[in-house]
Amino acid sequence: MTSPYARELEIAQLAVQRAAILTKRVFREKAKGTVSKDDASPVTIGDFGAQALIIAALRANFPGDAIVAEEEAAQLRSDAGLRGLIWDLVRSTRLSGAAEEALGGVRDEADLLEVLDLGRSEGGRKGRVWTIDPIDGTKGFLRGGQYALALALLEDGDVKVGVLGCPNLPVDDEAPLEADIGANQTDEEGRGVIFSAVVGQGATSRPLGTGGLTEGKSIRMKEVTEMANACFCESVESGHSNQSDSAQIAQKLGITKPSVRMDSQAKYGSIARGAGDIYLRLPTSKTYQEKIWDHAAGDLIVREAGGQVTDTKGQRLDFGVGRTLATNSGVVAAPAAVHGRVLEVVQEVLGLK
């Protein structure tokens, strides 16, 4: 008997792997100066191209499912030049060997727009909903630092399958956490990893390849025996997470190491494999609502690796409210055994108790 969600997991990973071939091409061509067209940023090109390829794979395999994706086609409808550039990339990006056969493609430029707009679902608590962030950590992508292609399947509001493609993280699960290096790490030997998880089946990492999937390894969070030695990750952008609050929290917890700042859901993947221990995302404004595509895959991967993920109020992230995590505020992710203690200090510093 095949395990539940086996096909969803396989297709999701292949789709992410194919889309990562495109984002890496865009980065390389940007470095050579051949990709920019007028004011189109490479991240725009990569975002649209990767989203189109991922949705095409979902459309071919799970045509009845709803999709909540970050980008939409509007800008491409009015910009034929940009549309043509993206179409050229999309039509020529394929997995090697038989793996490509399982994934559907995009037919033409008109279909490109159609496919992109399939991601405009409002989400919600009913049925199967895929959520996609084609490039998470756009700043990291541009710098040649960390970024992720994120894909998750929700069923009745719960995350069932999560996949994170991280082209610039080390393949080696034991490799120490690197602060945002910002150098061009794309294509460096030993980099590129896919994290994945299925509810109740644990979390896995495997090299990000260009054809069929290779064997995965099970990953677990590291046990925190001494808080002083714990390592916490946070956003690079101070506008995305309050870094002065996190410094105070770390100090109160007795953490002596400086935080590791890293873009994207690579933070979730890194703590899930024990390269780091804690991920804090502390609100910088009362009005910003986190987007479901920025957290769904990472949330499941960390929980399946032995972690607990809540918001700063101590509530589980609720992916069933719509396109945003409207009822949550920030993120606190840590090994289950110490999550309570971390949350207590977060609430003390934020004045929530």
Ligand X SMILES: Nc1ncnc2c1ncn2[C@@H]1O[C@H](COP(=O)(O)OS(=O)(=O)O)[C@@H](OP(=O)(O)O)[C@H]1O
Q: Which positions are catalytic?
A: 47, 138
**189-192 CB contacts, 8 Å cutoff, 24+ apart:** 191/167, 192/20, 192/165, 192/166, 192/167, 192/168
Spatial CA neighbour of 246 closest among 324, 177, 336, 312? 312
Dihedral of CA 338/341/345/350: which sign?
positive
The reply on whether position 235 binds ligand X by CB under 6 A is: yes
Strands (E) across 184-339 are located at 191-198, 203-207, 217-219, 232-234, 260-261, 278-281, 307-310, 331-335
Binding-site sequence positions for Mg(2+):
70, 133, 135-136, 294
Q: Which is nearer to ligand X, 2 or 287 (CB)?
A: 287
Which position among 59, 83, 143, 240 is part of the footprint of ligand X (CB under 6 A)? 240
Q: Restricting to residues 288-327, which ones interact with Mg ion according to CB under 5 A?
A: 294
Q: Which is nearer to Mg ion, 136 or 277 (CB)?
A: 136
**What is the closest distance, in whole angstroms, from the C-beta atom of residue 97 to ligand X in the complex?**
30
The reply on whether position 237 binds ligand X by CB under 6 A is: yes
Which position among 8, 45, 129, 136 is part of the footprint of Mg ion (CB under 5 A)? 136
Q: Which is nearer to ligand X, 131 or 204 (CB)?
A: 131
Give the amino acid at 19. Answer: A
Q: Restricting to residues 246-305, which ones interact with ligand X according to CB under 6 A?
A: 263-264, 284-285, 288, 291, 294
Strands (E) across the chain are located at 66-69, 128-136, 148-155, 158-170, 191-198, 203-207, 217-219, 232-234, 260-261, 278-281, 307-310, 331-335
Binding site partner of 236, from Mg ion, ligand X, none, Cβ cut-off 5-8 A by kind: ligand X
**Token reading at 301:** 């991967």
**What is the closest distance, in whole angstroms, from the C-beta atom of residue 143 to ligand X in the complex?**
10
**What is the closest distance, in whole angstroms, from the C-beta atom of residue 134 to ligand X in the complex?**
8
Site residues for ligand X per CB under 6 A: 70, 133, 135-140, 235-237, 239-240, 263-264, 284-285, 288, 291, 294
